[in-house]
């Protein structure tokens, strides 16, 4: 039987690139821990019966509320990342991993890259 | 799966469609698990990188040789000039050029003849990377020249040449790049739709002050990024000419190209839609018989997502560039928001925009060249404008001007006190200088004496305009009037 405290949180490495780091204390790399089980609807109180494993949608909301310092509209729109921001999970496009529904695992690396400074 | 109520029946919720076709295995090698989805196609990292290189070379290489073939290698007729903005596309462009045409194998056995042997030299003898700093056109923005220099100097084969946007109003810079000297300096009354030209004696002026006067005289928010873009483009072209370059490469990716095509067409640039993708340019006034510069956008088949993934996997540092799309309601900003949103939800549509525009061609050709942007100008534009719209609140067709128009100025052409610049401009340039927003003008009060970029006046020298200012035969009555106090009275009167 596994120790419940080991699965209580998930450790992640978050990277920001393409100018996004300016919104997150000008820091490119962040290490954080998020709960392994989260409410199905972000913002609801935690309960034993109505939870889901932490996914990228939860992570995006979590970053907005805990790390983002300014200009929410440059990072998030309609419950997901703003158009023009790419997300890589362990060096793989999140579109291959189910986008916001990807369930985060301990040690995952999530990269947010902004493409909005043109070409 | 039923079509019932998703609230009560969990199974009735429609499955979300995947962003990729078929499987997660790479569609190219069919072996590795994919890392990225590009327009519904899946690529692994090992296949993605060469795919980008292939697309880049497919656009660029047919333009290198004069006859378009490469049977006997690449022999460009001049040097290379690369326009660098610090943005994502131009950063990727620099990396691709370096990697494809200037990379030196580290294994000495491979370098037969030594690293200086012509066999191992780059395709172009000299490669200049040109950056135009625009901070003086947008007060409050920072100067990024040194950050850009740090990025460019990582590539040993490139010479860095920084410019400033105020060079467009700098006579010393104009002389340095071999520009033809004009006999008179030129200002224009932007408040008058006919753009009456005001001759001025040539005197030294502060380029930054002249630039700010030009920008602040523009009538709308949309006009500012259009004008800045035009100035940057001409600065790059003139610099490429002065460095004996046969090619000017720009880092416009597919997404940026689609944005600029729609934005340009929205502002009346349909006649030059082909030139937005690729063009050949030479100065209107030039000496010698040098071949035209080819302006190529080798990333025009590569989307912004692909550029971002390339930059991330290659560890490239992107300086970034100022966003100056004319505010949230400017045409540029609205277009970009629309296209970027489209790319996320319907990625194939963005390439459709560029592909469709690439098939368009104007019905009539034109020999006329716009003095401001030096691109083909559609003939008969002013007559067409006059026929299709009410462009002045003094128009007799209006019962009364709208409430916010407090100064209704007559716009009749008989009031011209000098030659008009309007006939020498293309539709989008004329619109940039004269279009009025329905919310009122954003221009500063002093619009009746606006300086113009240094390349405009020399082009007028051969059109009889300067000669008209320089000397004009007086009427006999005027001559008599001017010397009347010295004339002896007639003995008969």
pLDDT tens digits, B390-433: 656 655 555 565 666 555 444 444 445 678 888 899 999 998 99
State the CATH number of the domain containing residue B315. 3.40.50.620
**For the ranges A43-57, B26-40, B367-381, B401-415, which has the lowest average pLDDT?**
B401-415
**For the ranges B81-90, B183-192, B252-261, B478-487, which has the lowest average pLDDT?**
B478-487
pTM for the model: 0.84
- Quick one: pLDDT band at residue B47, thresholds 50, 70, 90? very high
Residue B453 has pLDDT above 60, yes or no: yes
Q: Residue B397 and residue A87: Cα distance in Å, rounded?
A: 56
Name the minimum distance, in Å, from the CA of A34 to any CA of chain B: 25
- Does the beta carbon of A118 lie under 8 angstroms from any beta carbon of chain B? yes
Tokens of B346: 């319907």
Contact A113 B308 (CB under 8 A): yes
Query: By residue range, what is the domain housing residue B301?
Result: 64-401+411-468
**For the ranges B133-137, B149-153, B478-482, which has the lowest average pLDDT?**
B478-482
Give the nearest partner residue to B88 out of A91, A99, A115, using CB atoms. A115
Name the minimum distance, in Å, from the CA of B254 to any CA of chain A: 9
Characterise A39 by phi-psi region: left (phi > 0), alpha (psi -120 to 50), beta (else): beta
Name the minimum distance, in Å, from the CA of B321 to any CA of chain A: 6
- Does the beta carbon of A108 lie under 8 angstroms from any beta carbon of chain B? no
Say if B12 falls within a structural domain.
no
Contact B299 A119 (CB under 8 A): yes
Please check whether residues B88 and B172 belong to one and the same domain: yes
Please check whether residues B230 and B139 belong to one and the same domain: yes
Query: By residue range, what is the domain housing residue A84?
Result: 3-114
Say if A119 falls within a structural domain.
no
Contact B304 A95 (CB under 8 A): no
Please check whether residues B51 and B165 belong to one and the same domain: no
On whether the CB atoms of residues B166 and B210 are closer than 8 A, the answer is yes
Within 8 A of B255 by CB-CB distance, chain A residues are: 115, 119
Please check whether residues B29 and B87 belong to one and the same domain: no
Residue A50 has a pLDDT of 78
What DSSP letter does each residue of B139-151 carry, written as one string? TTPPP-HHHHHHH
Contact A119 B251 (CB under 8 A): yes
- Quick one: pLDDT band at residue B212, thresholds 50, 70, 90? very high
Residue A87 has a pLDDT of 97
**DSSP 8-state secondary structure symbol assigned to residue B153:** T
Say if B38 falls within a structural domain.
yes
Say if B11 falls within a structural domain.
no
On whether the CB atoms of residues B210 and B169 are closer than 8 A, the answer is yes
Please check whether residues B50 and B81 belong to one and the same domain: no
Say if A26 falls within a structural domain.
yes
Please check whether residues B46 and B80 belong to one and the same domain: no
Residue B186 has pLDDT above 50, yes or no: yes
pLDDT mean over B108-130: 68
Give the nearest partner residue to B307 out of A19, A96, A119, using CB atoms. A119
Query: What are the distances in angstroms from CA B3 to CA A107, B16, B17?
Result: 40, 15, 16
Give the nearest partner residue to B88 out of A88, A92, A118, using CB atoms. A118
pLDDT tens digits, A44-97: 766 666 789 999 999 999 999 999 988 899 999 999 999 999 999 999 999 999
Residue B493 has pLDDT above 50, yes or no: no
Interface of A with B in 57-86 (CB under 8 A): 83-84, 86
Contact A119 B255 (CB under 8 A): yes
Please check whether residues B53 and B131 belong to one and the same domain: no
**For the ranges A66-70, B5-9, B37-41, B136-140, which has the lowest average pLDDT?**
B5-9
Contact B343 A113 (CB under 8 A): no
């Amino acid at each position: 039987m596994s120790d419940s405290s080991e699965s209580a949180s998930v450790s992640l490495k978050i990277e920001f690139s393409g100018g996004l780091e300016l919104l997150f204390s000008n820091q490119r790399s962040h290490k954080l821990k998020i709960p392994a089980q989260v409410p199905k609807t972000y913002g609801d109180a935690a309960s034993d019966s109505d939870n889901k494993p932490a996914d990228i949608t939860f992570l995006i909301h979590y970053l907005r509320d805990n790390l983002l310092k300014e200009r929410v509209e440059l990072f998030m729109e309609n419950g997901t990342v703003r158009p023009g921001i790419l997300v890589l999970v362990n060096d793989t496009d999140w579109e291959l991993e189910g986008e916001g529904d990807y369930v985060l695992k301990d040690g995952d690396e999530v990269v947010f890259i902004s493409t909005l400074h043109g070409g | 799966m039923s079509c019932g109520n998703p609230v009560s029946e969990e199974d009735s919720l429609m499955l979300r469609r995947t962003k990729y076709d078929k499987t997660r295995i790479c569609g190219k090698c069919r072996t590795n698990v994919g890392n990225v989805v590009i327009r519904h196609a899946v690529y692994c990292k090992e296949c993605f990188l060469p795919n980008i290189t292939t697309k880049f070379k497919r656009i660029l290489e047919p333009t290198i040789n004069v006859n378009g073939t490469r049977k006997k290698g690449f022999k460009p007729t001049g040097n290379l000039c690369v326009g660098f903005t610090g943005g994502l596309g131009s950063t990727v462009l620099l990396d691709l050029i370096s990697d494809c045409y200037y990379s030196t194998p580290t294994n000495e056995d491979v370098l037969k003849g030594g690293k200086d042997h012509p066999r191992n030299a780059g395709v172009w003898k000299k490669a200049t990377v040109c950056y135009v700093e625009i901070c003086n056109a947008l007060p409050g923005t920072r100067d990024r020249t040194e950050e850009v220099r740090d990025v460019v100097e990582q590539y040993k084969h490139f010479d860095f040449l920084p410019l400033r946007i105020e060079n467009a109003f700098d006579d010393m810079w104009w002389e340095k790049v071999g520009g033809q000297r004009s006999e008179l300096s030129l200002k224009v009354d932007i408040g008058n739709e006919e753009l009456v030209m005001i001759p001025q004696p040539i005197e030294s002026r502060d380029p930054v002050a002249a630039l700010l006067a030009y920008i602040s005289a523009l009538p709308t928010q949309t006009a500012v990024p259009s004008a800045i873009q035009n100035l940057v483009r001409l600065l790059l072209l003139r610099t490429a000419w002065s460095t004996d370059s046969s090619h000017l490469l720009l880092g416009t990716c597919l997404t940026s190209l689609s944005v600029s095509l729609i934005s340009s067409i929205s502002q009346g640039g349909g006649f030059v839609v082909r030139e937005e993708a690729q063009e050949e340019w030479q100065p209107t006034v030039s000496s010698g018989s040098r071949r035209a510069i080819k302006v190529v956008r080798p990333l025009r088949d590569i989307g912004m997502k692909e550029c971002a993934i390339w930059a991330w996997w290659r560890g490239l540092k992107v300086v970034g560039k100022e966003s100056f799309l004319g505010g949230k309601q400017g045409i540029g900003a609205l277009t970009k928001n629309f296209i970027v949103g489209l790319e996320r939800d319907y990625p194939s549509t963005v390439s459709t925009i560029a592909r469709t525009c690439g098939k368009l061609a104007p019905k009539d050709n034109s020999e006329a060249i716009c003095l401001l942007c030096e691109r083909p100008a559609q003939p008969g534009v002013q007559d067409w404008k006059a026929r299709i719209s009410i462009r002045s609140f003094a128009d007799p067709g209006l019962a009364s001007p709208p409430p916010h128009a407090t100064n209704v100025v007559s716009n009749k052409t008989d009031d011209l006190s000098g030659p008009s610049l309007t006939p020498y401009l293309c539709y989008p340039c004329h619109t940039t200088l004269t279009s009025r927003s329905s919310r009122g003008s954003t221009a500063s009060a002093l619009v009746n004496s606006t300086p113009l970029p240094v390349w405009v006046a020399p082009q007028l020298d051969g059109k009889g305009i300067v000669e008209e200012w320089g000397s004009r035969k007086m009427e006999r009555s005027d001559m008599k009037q001017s010397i009347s106090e010295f004339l002896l009275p007639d003995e008969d009167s």
